[in-house]
Amino acid sequence: MSATATPDRRQDHGEILALLTAYVFGLDRRDFTRVASVFTEDAVVQNVFDAYLPEGERFSGVTTGGRAVAEGARKLFGSLDATQHLLGAQSIELTETGAHASTQIVAHHHRGSGHYHTGGTYEDDLVRTPDGWRISRRTLHIHWTTGSPDVVLAP
């Protein structure tokens, strides 16, 4: 954000950062109502793994709607002992129709002594609603992984 940004633009940036943070805290605290609340009801969320990652076929896909995203997370994380999603560098661009945010992420998934860690980028399109900023489209690009995907996928 430039030094000449208006107070409204600074407020928008702050609200968007708070929304992105609410999502990862919702995941890690298993607060799936909070997870659903960051998306619009018709949000489209897509997971894309870099082509060299063989497990990409098992995790890639498209989900529509905040409630569906939250339910998918509930099922995926239900057997895990712990997760921690860390947000890194972020860029927010306000547009004529909303905003676009790029956020680096490192996600840790643990069950027993096993782990599955991923690194990538959230690419989010956001819209302002009567309830504040919401994500209308998210693409999660996974660029690297370590550990076993079975930590997340095993029943």
Sign of CA dihedral 54, 83, 38, 125: negative
d(CA 17, CA 14): 5
Residue 46 is assigned to a structural domain of this protein: yes
Q: Which residues contact 4 (CB under 8 A, 6 or more apart)?
A: none
Residue 84 is assigned to a structural domain of this protein: yes
pLDDT at 7 over 90: no
d(CA 76, CA 70): 10
In single-letter form, the type of residue at position 66 comes to G
pLDDT in tens, 58-108: 888 999 999 999 999 999 998 999 999 999 999 999 999 999 999 999 999
pLDDT at 31 over 70: yes
Classified as helix, coil or strand, 38 is coil
d(CA 115, CA 112): 8
Residue 1 is assigned to a structural domain of this protein: no
Q: With 0-12 CB in 10 A as exposed, 13-18 as middle and 19+ as buried, what is 61?
A: exposed
Number of domains in the chain: 1
Residue 27 is assigned to a structural domain of this protein: yes
* Domain span holding position 149: 7-153
pTM for this structure?
0.91
Q: Which helix (H) or strand (E) holds 123?
A: strand 114-129
CATH assignment of the domain containing 122 = 3.10.450.50
Residue 2 is assigned to a structural domain of this protein: no
